[in-house]
Every structure is written in C-alpha cells, then in structure tokens.
A and B are shown apart, each in its own frame.
Chain A
Amino acid sequence: MPIARIHFWGIDSKYLFYILVGISVAVFLLGVYSRVSVWLAAVNREKVIVSREGILNLLMDGLFGRRIFKGDLIAGLMHFFIMWGFIGLFLGTVLSTTDYWIIHFLSGDVYLIYSFCLEILGLMFIAGLLTALIRRYIARVSRLDNQAQDLWILVLLFFCVLTGFMVEGVRLAVNMPEGESVSFGGVIFSSLPSSKEQAEAVYPIIWWVHSLASLFLVAWFPFSKLFHVLAGPVNIYMASQPEAVVSRDEESPEGPGFLFRDMINFSACTRCGRCNEVCPSASAMEPFSPREFIAQANEYTRLRYNPLSRIKWFREKLIKSVSALPEISPEQIWYCTTCRACLEVCPIYIGAFEPIRRVRTSEIEEGSRVPNLLTKSLETLYMFDNPWERSKKKRGEWFGDLAVPDLTAGAKADLCYFVGCTTSFDTRAQGLARSFVKIMTHAGVSFGTLGQKETCCGDIARRVGEEGLFEEQVKKTMGLLKTYGIADLVASSPHCFNLFRNEYPLYQSPGATPLRVRHYTQVLEELMERGLIKPVKRMDLRVTYHDPCYLGRYNNIYQAPRRLIRSIPGVSLVEMAHYGPDSLCCGGGGGRLWQELEDEKKLSEVRIREAADTGADIVITTCPYCLIMLEDAVKTADLEGRLRVMDLNELIAESLGLGEEGEESTIG
C-alpha cells in the first residue's frame, strides 16, 4: 500500500455518510441564520465601516487571543491550544476532502508532513481540553460557573479527538505502512486491538462513532456557546467602530431597543466570568452581575427575535432552559456604576453597561419601576438645571472672595472653565474649584466661567437612560457655548469632560467647529510643562492615587495626574491593589450617587480600605464624585485621622503655597 491519505477505508456506505453530512451542515446553517437574524433585528442598525484598528484587533485578539492571556496565562494557553487544535483539525478535514474529491495530493512526504501536523494539533487539542476540564472540575476556578453545556462541549470535543486517534490507530493495527510512525498518536492506539482481524472488525464501528460525534458537534455548534467562535471575532471587530447616535423619539417602540452591537455582544458571551470578578457591584455581592445580565439579555433577544422561536418545539425548549419566559429583571440594572471594568477585561470586548443603558431607557419610559430617589433627582435636574435642587442663582456661591471672570457678563478669555453641578454645589467638591481657580490665576491663564448661566451637561440623564432629558440638556448647553463663542473648554469632572469629548460631537451638526475639551489634569500638566506652575513647597507625604473611571478607562488618562503628583518635592506615590485600567470604581457613577437601592453596599468603603492598606497619608483623586464618595467612606469606614481624601488641585495648590487658609498645618 502506498503512503497516502486513505479515505473511507473499509467503509461501504459512504453515501449514507454524505447524507448525514448534508443534514448536519443544514442544521448548522439554520442555526447560524437564526442567530444572525437576531443581530439584524436590532433597532437603528448602524453602518459598519472598515477600520484598521478593528482588523488589527481581530488579528491580535482573535487569532492569538491576546486578551485571554491578560491576568490568566493558563487560560490563555488553554484557549490557544483548543482554538488552534480545533481550527487545525478542521483544516485537516478540509484538505482531506479536497484530496478525495478535487485533487489528490496527500501522498508521499506531503502526506507524512500532513499526518505529523495533525498529530501535533490533536495533542495540543487534548492538552487544551484536559486543562479546561481540570480548571473547571478539579481546580474549580471560581469565576467559572460550570453549566451543563460547559461539560458536554468539552466531553464531546474530547470524545471526537480521542476517537479520531483511535480510528487511525486501529487502521495502523491492520496495516502499518513505512513512515506512518510519524503518526505517533495513532501508533499508541494501534496496539489496542489484539489481532488484525479484531482491528478490521471494530474499525467501521469506531469510524462511525467518530463521524457521528463530529457531525453532531457541527449541528449543535450554533446553538451552543461554541457560537462564540463566529460571533466573538465579529464582536472584536465591532468594538472599535465609532459610537453611533441612537435617537429615540416618541414613536420608538417600547422595550430596550438594543443595538446591532448589543445583539452581537449577547450572542458572543461564553460566561467566562472575568466581568463578574472585576465588577465592583458583583464583587460586593450586590444583586447584580454583568454576566447574568448579558445571559438574560441573550435569552430575551433570542426568544423574541429568533425566526426559529416561531416553531413551538424550539420555543418551549428555549423557555425550559431558563425555567420561565426570559425577561431582563429590571431591578438589577440600577446597580451598574458604568465603570467600564467589565469591558476592560472581556477577551472579546463585551461591556454590560451600554446595553444596560438601553434597558434603563426602557424602564425610564415605563416609569413605574424607577428607583425613588432617582425620580426626584431627574425631576430636580429638569426644573433646576442641576440635580442638587439649588437655584441657578447659587451657582457661583463657591467663588467666595476669589475673582472669577464671568464670560456671560462681558469678560473675555481664551479658556472656559466648565465647573459642573457637583463641583458648584457640593461644599466638599467646591474645594476642587477654588483650588483650580487659584492655580490658574497664579499661572496667569486667561480663563472664565459661565457664571450662573452654566447648565448641567446632562451626564446623569445620559447614564440613567433618560434620553429625552439628555437631549434637552445637550441642546441647552450647546446653545450656551455657541452664544458665548466657547471654543476651548476645561471641565472639573471627568463625567462632564467625557460627555463633551465623546458624546457631544455626535449631536453636533456636521461642519461645526469642534470644541476643544480637556480635563483639568491635562491643563495642569500643560501648565507644568510650560513652567507656569512649579511646585516648590516640600511636603513629605505618602500619597496614593485613585483613578476615576471616566478619566481612566473612558479616556485613557492615567499618567498626567501621576506625573503631577510626582512633581511635588517630597511626595511619594504608592499604588493601590487596583490601579490604572484595573482601578476600582468609587461607586458614585452611573447614577448611583442619585438613588437609593435595596441591598446597596458601600462600594466606596471597599475602595477606601484599599487606599488605607497602602499606608498612604492621603488619597488623591481627580473627580468630584470620587471626592465626595471617598470622603464619606473615610468617615463610615472609621479611617478618620488615618487617611485624608484630597482633590489633585488641592494638593497642587498647597504645594504652590496657595492652600486654603488654616489648612496648611494639616498637611505634611
């Protein structure tokens, strides 16, 4: 017998095999069709554009699984082995089919190399699968929650590859051509049958078992979590697509109105649980979990938009698997702080917070289940143009004795300081504004504020899904900026900053001059680089820095505040257990500051304890929400006297000798 790929050795009914192949491929295609049609049921399907970043991510995160390695090397290797084992063996089958039907090339040395490669891939596959089984069922990695399909998929894959080796082994037991020893995996199994006759007898049985298992896998594929093989890469590509404006108007249908990207997100999730590990709410054991939310949303959309759900059997099966008609339970959505940590760790860029906003919008429009305090905060925002229930006339009260030019009263300046509601009205956060103004004045910067005319940028409305109110605030604020010819703006709050920088442009008419937007940390850094501020006062302090979510994860500003802190003589910066992109939310974002929830935990206490654990004297932050939340946590966590919370402006002002009177003695 020549050395070559052997097809259908001893198998008579190959036509039966091809009929079965036809059936399993048909089921596969039907499954893919049903899931893709759920994607296409999305409202306002945005146009997909060609993006270099998307392609690059697709290569790095798709083919190499870059993000799977992050923080979990073993998981990365495991997935790499399974993925490439799977792809390799699939390609092997494609080549074999080509060899049989189209052009015969698998012979001689080519065949031997082919065979050897498949052996390696098969072993890789087995190694990956065993690692997965050990992680799930022996080492019991805590973030994995082991559902039935997790086990069955691993067992089925393992069974397919094992019977594959056995098919080869039993064939080799009958006839071992010269050179076939490269098939070292199969060789192991060739000693299993006691005689050639026995091998010849069992061969068709094993061949059929292997074939049927593999064909079942193909058919089941799109209905199981294996669908991530197809949806994951799409999701990776879509992650870098520009944000779309989802205008919702009075005519929009009820319900969450998920976007194209949301739908792909839902279908691509494999429940790896990384999001739950980093979610501040889920890890504080609040009744929210990003993973469960995505799973619920997946079931919800699959049942509603899947063409197969018109078939009774399928619908009932789907309902049974979640024990009731899938709904997205409305209470959970208010716990999300929109901190973006879930997106940061997801290997395929699924973030729960965006689709959560869609559900929030639908709850806001429905009205009756909106948390009590939030209802009041939003009504206040509408009436007073700020969520603090303060009259507009009191917006400038924090000025005190400071001279702050008012751009709406004739003052001319290059830079507009957008103070923000919280910084304007909260007595603690006012310290941020006062220090910033002192630094700017000290540096001789030409700046002014919008005085009492300043509006609420609409961040709270946006985060809690009150789209109508958000649009009102955008219109009002853009009109105000236009009236006073504002082209360069600096914000106190990373929340206002993020909105101006990333979301306002979506509402701007095309052709309008884009607004230059900076957060105060960027302005301070520039002033320092230009030598306009030189921290001179030595302060022997150990400080730690808390990254606000909307400055860090949302806008990638991690280094500017750290460089500013390090520029102060005597100050040493120590990092907390979570910092930079892994920073832990203070619990104030996403509208959490504006509502009271059942079983709510003090997320800020978790964070302040981390800060205290560094042994720092002061925790510095750059966001008024974080400032309020952490300041409060110092008191409730009984850390008063041990740890202080300061805004970066306050620290810099202090080092420039501009500190508030009477406070000087308390530092250093």
Chain B
Amino acid sequence: MNIIVCVKNVPFTQEVDLVLDASKQDVKKDNLVYVINEWDNYAIEEAIRIKEETGGHVTAVTLGKEADEEVLRRCLAMGADEAIRVERGDLNPDASMIAAILSAVVKTIPHDIILTGVQSDDLNNGITGSLIAERLGLVHAAVVNSLKISEGKAQISIELEGGQDEMSQVTLPALFAIQTGINEPRYVSIMGIRKASKKEIKVIDASGLGLPGEDLQPSLIMEEMFMPPETEGAEMLQGDAGSLADQIIRIIREKGVSL
C-alpha cells in the first residue's frame, strides 16, 4: 500500500493580532509561528495508522521553501518513510497552482491512496484535494471522517450537514480529503523531530516539472485584503446572576428566538 500525504506548513494565527502588510495582499508573516496545517496532521496520522495496520510506504509531500521542511520532519518523526519538498521559488501559488504542481509530482510516484486535509488553515479554499484528484483522474471523496482499508477497497464515511454521515465503498486508487477528528494524532516529541532531521528530504524544483505556463498562473486574482470593519460595541451586562439571566433571556427574545 503506497500512501502519499500532501501537507502544508501554515502560520498559527490563534491568539495573534494579525496585521496587513503594505501591499494589502497578505498579512505580515515575519513574526508568526508556523505549524502543520491542522487537517493535514490528521491526514498524516491516518496514513501512518493504515501503514501500521496493513503495511506500506508513506510519502509526505509539501510545496514550500526550505523553512517549510519543518513540517516534513514532523511527518518523518510520526512515521512517514519518505519526504519530498517541492521548491516553490518565487511563486506565490493559489489553490489551483498548488494542485497543478502537486499532481505533477505525485503522478511520478506509485500510489494507492492520496490523502490531503479538507482545507488549509491559512487560505481556507478547501479545493486542493479535489483539484489534484481531477488532474490525476482519481476517484475522490472530501470531508472523510472514517477510513478503513481492506483488499484494495476503502470503506469511508463522509461528513454531511447536520450531523449526518454518508458511508461508501471506494475502489483504490483514490484520493481522500481528511476531516479533523478522524483520529487522535500522536504526539511528536522534540527528540523524535531531532531524530527525523537526520533523514534525507528530497527536493524537486517546481519550475523543472515541465508544467505549461497557464498552470503556473493563479486562477484567482486577489484585489485587496482588509480587516473586517468594526461593528458597534458589545453591550456589557451588569448585575448579579439572577438579573443577568433575566437580561439574557430578554435579549434572546428580542432577537426573535421563541423560548
């Protein structure tokens, strides 16, 4: 079983006051801490679990700069066998470019299963997985919250709206976009990462993949990034617990909720 997992290093933005950069096309990233994209963490964990259960080979792939190799070392520490970084050079790729580049790389590696996260924490497009599958002509499913592999088939469950799940059987090879909560990702120790940093990371240059020019053009043009406009201030309630409860009920009623 050959499994490829597409992972991304993303800035951790909780608890951070984001500031826009001068171009108004992006946020200032120089002081941000980078981590593995949360969904990808579940995806790589799922791949390692499949490998542990049925045997196989896990390859982690990322598109990024040298500093982004951190995310690959983490994957290696978790148990991935191989890691590939696609050097993005000066490209500032959007989802369609990422999908084009990754699928060109993935195509050259034997694979039964390709895993991605449902979406990434930074851009939140949620389409990279589907686009890769489309380009490779693979069966795919998104928002997968359960995955069982047996005899060349995958039993999957897809999260639908309103707490409903859809169960399906998929013949491999296939691509699955993994939802958070599918497993409990293991802890990766500092020692584990140190150990993994001795393993080789293969580097491929995105410009050397022979992709046609239009694939390396963004399909989405960003016009401007701006902070959400400030709305009216919050109403601070005062009083003891009893009167607070009364006030809250009054507000809920006023907003049209029938109690």
In the complex, the answer to whether A367 meets B191 with C-beta atoms within 8 Å is no
Within 8 A of B (CB), among A253-268: none
The residue that B198 contacts in the complex, of A250, A378, A382, A468, with Cβ under 8 A, is A250
Residues on A with C-beta less than 8 A from B198 are: 250
Q: How many angstroms between the C-alpha atoms of A398 and B194 in the bound complex?
A: 36
Inter-subunit contact A378/B35 (CB<8 Å): no
A301-323, CB under 8 A of B: which get 1 and which 0?
Answer: 00000000000000000000000
Q: When the two chains form the complex, which single residue of A365, A383, A390, A391 contacts B189, counting CB atoms closer than 8 Å?
A: A365
Does A469 make an interface contact (CB < 8 A)? yes
Q: Which residues between 324 and 374 of chain A lie within 8 Å of chain B, taking CB atoms?
A: 364-368, 370, 372, 374
Q: Give every chain A residue within 8 A of B33 (Cβ-Cβ).
A: 383-384
Chain B contacts for A384, CB-based, 8 A: 15, 33
A375 located at the interface, meaning its Cβ lies under 8 Å from any Cβ of chain B in the complex: yes
Which of these binds chain A: B20-28, B161-169, B180-188? B180-188
Query: Nearest chain-B residue to A383 (Cβ)?
Result: B33
Check A249/B35 contact, CB under 8 A, given A375-B185, A390-B15.
Answer: no
- A250 touching B191 by the CB < 8 A rule? yes
Given A383-B12, A384-B33, A390-B15, A372:B190 Cβ within 8 A? no
B177 within 8 A of A: no
Question: Shortest beta-carbon distance, A291 to chain B, in Å?
Answer: 28
Nearest Cβ in chain A — how far from B6, in angstroms? 21
Chain B residues in 8 Å Cβ range of A250: 191, 194-195, 198
Query: Does the CB pair A375–B187 fall under 8 Å?
Result: yes
Known: A250-B198, A384-B33, A391-B16. A367 touches B190 (CB 8 A): no
**Please, how many angstroms separate the alpha-carbon atoms of A472 and B193 in the complex?**
13
Known: A375-B185, A383-B33, A384-B33. A468 touches B194 (CB 8 A): yes
List A19-45 residues whose CB lies under 8 Å from chain B: none
Contact of B192 among A367, A374, A382, A390 (CB under 8 A): A367
Closest to A370 in B: B187
Task: Report the interface size class on chain A.
Answer: 20 to 34
Q: List residues of chain B with CB within 8 A of the CB of A454.
A: none
For the complex, is B14 an interface residue (Cβ under 8 Å from A)?
yes
- Is A46's beta carbon under 8 Å from chain B? no
The minimal Cβ–Cβ distance linking A139 to chain B, given in whole angstroms, is 47
Q: Is the CB of A367 within 8 A of B189?
A: yes
For residue B80, give the distance in angstroms from its CB to the closest CB of chain A. Answer: 13
B78 adjacent to chain A (CB < 8 Å): yes
Q: Which of B11-60 contact A (CB under 8 A)?
A: 12, 14-16, 33, 35
Least Cβ–Cβ distance between B199 and chain A, in angstroms: 11
Bound-state Cα–Cα, A391 to B15, Å: 7
Residue of B15, B184, B187, B193 with highest tally of chain A CB at under 10 A: B187
| Cα distance, A294 to B193, chains bound together (Å) | 31
* Per-residue interface assignment for chain B, residues 193 to 221, with 1 indicating a CB less than 8 Å from any chain A CB and 0 otherwise: 11100100000000000000000000000
When the two chains form the complex, which single residue of B16, B78, B190 contacts A382, counting CB atoms closer than 8 Å? B190
Complex: chain B residue closest to A470, CB-CB: B190
Is A61 part of the contact surface with B, judged by Cβ < 8 Å?
no
Residues 384-428 of chain A, each 1 if its beta carbon lies under 8 Å from chain B, else 0: 100001110000000000000000000000000000000000000
Known: A364-B189, A368-B184, A471-B190. 15 other contacts (CB 8 A): A249-B191, A250-B194, A367-B78, A372-B184, A375-B187, A379-B35, A382-B190, A384-B33, A389-B14, A390-B15, A466-B189, A468-B189, A468-B192, A468-B193, A469-B190
A residues neighboring B (CB under 8 Å):
248-250, 364-368, 370, 372, 374-375, 378-379, 382-384, 389-391, 466-469, 471-472
